[in-house]
Every structure is written in C-alpha cells, then in structure tokens.
Amino acid sequence: MMNKITILHNEYPSFKEESAGFSALIQIDSSKILFDTSLKNDVKFNAQQASISLTELDYVILSHSHYDHTDGLKFLDFDQISHLLAHPDCFTPKFATHDGKEIYIGCPFYLPYLQREMDVILTTEPFWVIPEKMVFLGEIPRLNEFEAQNPLGYDEHHKQDFVMEDSAVVIKTSQGLAIISGCSHAGICNIVEYAKQICQENRIYMILGGFHLFEDHLIPPTVAYFQAQSIKHLYPAHCLSDKAFVALQNIGGKRISTLETLQLP
C-alpha cells in the first residue's frame, strides 16, 4: 500500500481567521489516521467532494485544543474512530477576548463525553502510533529563545495560556523524517529538534503544516534554522502571514492546497 498524506483542509492562499484551519489524512501501510479536524464541516465536505472515506479511522489525533483544529469533530462519526489521541490539556476550556467580548476558542466537546464515545488516549510523552514508524510527540520542550514566548488567550481561571498541549506527529521514512504540525504554538523549530531527538534521526524529508508565524521578528531566525536543516520538502500551510510565507517560499517552501496528496518514500 502506498504511504501518503492528503490535505483535507488548508485555508491558504491567504490567512483569514474565518476560514482558517488544518487537517490531513495520513495513510501508512494499513493504518488510516486523521490529524486535526479543521473547523465547521470543512473536512467532511472536502472528503465527500473527493470521494475520500472517513470510515474505519484507526486514530484521530489532535495537535492542540483550538477550535480551528478540533471543531470538525462535530461532523465525524465516532463509531468509525478506534482511538482519539491528544495531550491531556487539549480538553481544557480556552478563551480569548475579541472586539471586547470573551469568546470560547477550545475543543467543542468535554473530555468525559468523548471518553464515553470512544477510546481516548491522553499523553504528555511520545506515543508510537505505528511502532518504529509514526510517533505523536506529546509535550514539546521549548528550548530556544525566540519561539513560544507569548500566551494566546487564557483558561477558565483567566490564567494566561501558552498552549502547552501543542504537539505534532512524525513519520520515519527512508529519506528522513516527515514532520506534520498543526499550528506550532510550541515553535516549529522546537518541534523539529524534538522530533530529531525522539526518532534519533537528523535527516528531514518534509515539514508540513501550521507554523504560527505572524510576528515579523520570528521570521529571520526561523528561516535561518530551516536553511541549516537541509530540508527536502517544506510546505508552510496554516497560520502564517503572507510575509512569512514569501520568506519561506524564498528558501524553497511550496504552497499546499486542499485535497492535494503528498506521497511518502
């Protein structure tokens, strides 16, 4: 069976909050894994348009709690999901202030409800979804001095939220690591470094997903880090400014489209 990643939703060509979101269907050997669920019914609608089945999912993996990655859960058939995998904080209520009003930005379901509906695996540690081949990284160490420095919103106790649950998945290929991030609140460079450590592999075949690059001062160190990694394929997708996208395009980054399929070696 061919190993591949199909983008079920990505908001580019330009970031607009009302259409933002990310989801990818990962198929490796006989395993079928949905990474993030985007927002509204984007995933279900796009899958239907392309005649892609969302039945018999071995895993639904959530990168973090925010609604533009979890809202699509409302449109999935829970009977067709064997396991839901996430960091424990993925189901903590999250809020933000927008135009002077408090809004809810977290997962649409409470954890106890999901646990009644399916097998839920919560972990802060790396979890091998497919032994020796695909891993969910769990909580990402934040070691560099430029990423993940600012909170985004707050919890129900009005404590600042640094989105500590933000995670990613890594696939080991014959040509190096394929790293798929949801939004990279932990910092995409921190994510790559942890992926290399956990997988004991320094070759990077692909980096794909949301990079959370909106602040201009984060662009140069991120670009410099990527340039030092000899990445074969760089696909900046969700959650970055046009300026950041152009900077990454200048070092070989390519635009990724909804329903585009990427083959893995």
pLDDT in tens, 90-111: 999 999 998 889 999 999 999 9
The residues, any chain, with a CB within 8 Å of residue 153's CB and separated by 6 or more, are 94, 95, 96, 97, 105, 161
154-155 β-sheet, strand order: 101-104, 94-98, 154-155
Band (18; pLDDT cuts 50, 70, 90) = low
Torsion of CA 15, 188, 254, 129, to 10 degrees: -100
Which residue shows structure tokens 């540690």?
A: 125
DSSP string, 196-246: HHHHT---EEEEEE---B-SGGGHHHHHHHHHTTT-SEEEE-SSB-HHHHH
Torsion sign across C-alpha atoms 168, 46, 247, 185: negative
The residues, any chain, with a CB within 8 Å of residue 115's CB and separated by 6 or more, are none
pLDDT, position 32: 97
pLDDT: is 116 or 12 the higher one? 116
Q: Find, among 37, 89, 38, the residue nearest to 65 by Cα.
A: 89
What average pLDDT does the chain have?
94
Q: Do residues 128 and 135 make contact, with C-beta atoms less than 8 angstroms apart?
A: yes
219-244 pLDDT, tens digit per residue, is 999 999 999 999 999 999 988 999 99
The residues, any chain, with a CB within 8 Å of residue 125's CB and separated by 6 or more, are 138, 139
Distance CA(214)–CA(240), nearest Å, equals 5
Query: Residue 250 pLDDT more than 60?
Result: yes
**255-20-120 Cα angle (round to 5):** 105
pLDDT, position 17: 60
pLDDT, position 16: 58
Tell me which architecture the domain covering 4-263 has in CATH. 4-Layer Sandwich (3.60)
Q: Find, among 245, 227, 228, the residue nearest to 236 by Cα.
A: 245
Query: Residue 11 pLDDT more than 90?
Result: no
pLDDT, position 191: 98
Burial status of residue 118 (CB atoms within 10 A of its CB: 0-12, 13-18, 19 or more)? middle
Query: Residue 15 pLDDT more than 60?
Result: no
156-191 pLDDT, tens digit per residue, is 999 999 999 999 999 999 999 999 999 999 999 999
The backbone region for 231, taken as left when phi is positive above 0, alpha when psi lies in -120 to 50, beta otherwise, is beta
32-81 pLDDT, tens digit per residue, is 999 999 999 999 999 999 999 999 999 999 999 999 999 999 999 999 99
Percent of the chain with pLDDT over 70: 97
pLDDT, position 12: 62
Query: Residue 196 pLDDT more than 60?
Result: yes
pLDDT, position 1: 60
pLDDT, position 233: 97
Stretch 6-29: mean pLDDT? 81
pLDDT, position 221: 97
Domain residue ranges in the chain: 4-263
